[in-house]
Every structure is written in C-alpha cells, then in structure tokens.
Chains A and B, each alone.
Chain A
Amino acid sequence: MTSASTPVAIAGWGQTGPLAEDLRSIPEMVLDAVQATLRNAAMGYEDIDAVVTASVDVFDGMTASNIAVTEVVGAVMKPETRIAADGLCAAIHAACQIRAGAYDTVLVVAHAKPSMSDFYELTKWALDPIFLQSLGIDFLTFAGLQAAAMAAEDKDAVERWAGLAACRLADASGDGKSPGSTEILQSALVTTPLREKMCAPLADGACACVLRRGDDSSPGRKEIRLSGLGHDLAANFIGDRELTESAGLERAAARAYADAGIKQPEDEIDVAEPSVAFAHEEELFVQSAGISDNTIISPHGGLFAGNVPIVAGLSRLTAAAEYLRRNNDLRAVAHGSWGPAGQGQAMVVLENAIP
C-alpha cells in the first residue's frame, strides 16, 4: 500500500440506473453518469488528469470494453487504466495514483449492462476451463454452495436471510413496503437454499466519481476523504476456501482499517454500504468486517435496489459519500465483492474531514 500521507478526497459523484433494462447504448449510459459526476464536482473534462474505468469484456460482448467508453469518460489523449474487477477496486487504484503523486484528479467510472445477455451464463467463462466449465457451473451455483455451507449447521439461517432481504427490499423501495419473510421464503427457488427474493435483482447502470488530492490549504473546509484502502483475492479453487467465512474480506478490511487508523471497527464506523448480492452475504460481511449493531447498514437497501455487477462496489462508495455529505456522521465503509463466492474483496473507509 502506498503512503497515506497524501489525503484523497471524493469531489463528486453520479450514476445512471440501476434500471432493470436500460435501452440506451453503453456509451450513452456512461456519458450520463460522467456528466452528472462532473456537474456534482463542479468540474469539466479539462480538470481531470487521468481516468480509471472498470468493465468486463465478456459481460459487454466485446473485447476491450473500456475502448467503447474512452470518449465519454474524457480519456482521449489522457492516461486511462482499465480494471476488470469491481468498480471499488478502480477507485482504490485511482486513490493510489493520487497518493503516489502521479495525478491530482482522477475520474473513476464503472459500467455493466447484464440485460444484454444471460449474465450468469456469462460468468461460466470466468471459471477454470479444465475442471469447472464442463460442469455448467456459474456464479449463481457458487452463491448457492456458499449459502448451503453456511446453513448446514445453522437451522435458522434461511429464515434469518429472508428477514434480512425483507428489510433491504423495504429500504430500497422508498415507501417502506416489501414482501414479508413468508412471501420471500415462498418465492421461486433459484438454487437451494436461495429463493428469488433473497437475491438482489440484476440491473443495468453506470456510476462515476472524481477523486482528487485532499485540500489542506483551506482550513475549515469540509471534505469527504478516502482514509483507508484495502483489497484482497482469495484462492481461485473454491474448494481451497472455507466458504462459511470470508477470509478475503477479513484481510481487505484489516488493511483498510490499519490504513485509516481504525482500531475498534465495531465502535468506529457509523454507516456501512456492503455489496450484498445474496442475503447470506450480509452476515458474512458483518462477521468478517467486524461490524456491530452500532453501525447502520445499507440505509437505502444497498444492492437490493438493483445489483449492477462491476458497478456495485463503486455505487456503494458513492452511496456512503452521499450519506456522509447529508449527515454529520464521521465515518463510513464501502465494500466491493466480485468473482465466484466473493473471491475478490475490497473495502474503503470514508471520513468527513475538516482539515
């Protein structure tokens, strides 16, 4: 990890979606998110030194999926880096560029449009071609295996997850209405023990933010800073991992907390925005990231308002920043997760800072 001596602030953010099916082209969808972000940051393309994008070629049905958005992210004749992982990783990469002194202002953009194809069918192509692809396994199967492993010795787990899904769906609805636990437990079977309404609905969308070098020259000016960065990859073979825990998230969180100087996460985090695509993952998050009842989790329903793969973690970062901007709380965490059964994990600590 690079030196934390250079503070990194989030200057603005914006998004399009999440929509179940966005009929716009990907560049049009991304352009709206970028323009909303630049307006929010009171900046123009000319203020951006570099761009980090997050996208996955196979999800877009083309190679070099970042090239299709090069112009709308303002990266022509500028340094651009593409991350083929969750957008929160792109934000961490951008923050590291600023900490390293390479750039002062970096635009981070993530997009995905799962409505274009059969998303989970595409995830088969992320798996080992010799041992796994012929079995027809995809990320949904891995989510089911993880949930099954967790439920095996916990007879109340599935009912608890239905309750969690009901809470998040209610928070995401905006009017507090959601199906009850019984209805959730009776929704269509996706992969045992997961039911349809325990799974955050897939959606199309794009999300962006501007990160810039923190401003220590204007005392008293409030800014939201990324004070802790951490990410981690767990073992590739899923059978090498203990599925009932997320050692990868434990390591990612430990790095982010150490970076931010957090010693007691159970007492020091006001709000958490985890990437929970399946209800059981919220319990893994709470357990692995050391979150307690003192922390508000997903105040607006998190990904249950619409799960845009690759965008998810970056949208959690901007949701956490929005929360800190609107409230006087001190500290939030944003979480990203990608790959089969959360192989990749990322965590960012955000703070309301008054230099």
Chain B
Amino acid sequence: MIREGSIRLPFAYAAGKSGSTYLRALQEEQRILGSRCSACDRILAPARSFCPTCGDAELQTVEIGPGGVLLAWTERPDKGILGLVKLDSADTAIVHRILGSSDVLSTGMRVQARFGDASDENPEDSLLGFAPEVADS
C-alpha cells in the first residue's frame, strides 16, 4: 500500500547583509552588485558576505554588468533557458534565465540584463534575465 503525503511549509530565508544589499540594488536601482576581494584580487558575482577562497569578510561592494558574456546555456522543454553569464568587471559567473529563443544563442555572445518591476516579497524578480545584446545600428 502507498500513503500519499506532501510537505508544504513556508520558510523565511534571511538574505543576510550582502544578499539584502544585492536585492535592494536590483529592485530599487536596477543595478547588479558583486563583491571585490582585495586579498584574491578578484570580483565575485553575485555579492557575497565573504570570499569563498580566502574567507576574507571585508569585501567591497561594486557594480557589475549589466552586460556580459554567455558562457553556457541549457534549454529544458518545460522550464525555458538557463545560462551561465560572466558579467562585465566580474571574475566569476552567475546563473540566470536567458530570454528569447535558443535559435539565436551561441556561447561567447554578448548579453544584457533585462529588468522589470517586482514585489517586495520577491525582489529577485526585478532581474528578469539576460537577452542577446542588440548591436547599435
């Protein structure tokens, strides 16, 4: 015999100092933030509370993007396209939605962040995703 069950419990995840700063900048200023680790001489994306390599917690918040390079992407029939994007100025990449059709995507192409309105409950939705950069005519 099988007993059917489910778990539905709300959670309140603390974004922490760096996560909150990141989400606020997305929602209020449509800016993407990273963190500079002076000890490792690299800029981490997205913003962090500490450097995962050296453990330094004295990181400097810096703006990265909004343009970048598409390093890899994968398309799922039911979930759209997710990609790995290395934003301008950053040394590490972030994972996010890739907007538009996969027909025009290629590894190494330039992409640009697309922003929209988001509720206070879901500030992360301010970053809609990344779309192929349109060349200036």
Contacts and interface: CB of A to CB of B under 8 A. Distances in A.
Interface of A: 23, 61, 129-132, 134-137, 140-141, 144-149, 152-153, 189-194, 235-240, 243
6 contacts: A134-B124, A135-B95, A141-B79, A152-B72, A191-B74, A238-B95
Contact of B72 (A132, A135, A194, A243): A243
A113 to B, nearest CB: 12
Nearest to A240: B92
Contact of A145 (B7, B52, B74, B86): B74
Nearest to A62: B7
B76 A140 contact: yes
B130 to A, nearest CB: 12
Interface in B14-37: 15-16, 19, 22-23
A263 B46 CA distance: 40
A145 B72 contact: yes
Contacts of A146: 72
Contact of B73 (A23, A148, A237): A148
A237 B34 CA distance: 13
Nearest to B23: A130
Contacts of B16: 130
Contact of A144 (B52, B76, B122): B76
B72 A192 contact: no
B74 A239 contact: no
Given A135-B96, A141-B79, A235 B5 contact: no
A243 B84 contact: yes
B101 interface: no
Given A131-B19, A145-B82, A191-B75, 9 more contacts: A135-B82, A137-B82, A141-B79, A144-B74, A149-B107, A152-B108, A192-B102, A237-B52, A239-B86
B97 interface: yes
* Of listed A130, A152, A192, A239, residue having the most chain B CB within 10 A: A239
Contacts of B2: 23
A146 B82 CA distance: 12
Given A134-B124, A141-B76, A192-B75, A239 B84 contact: yes
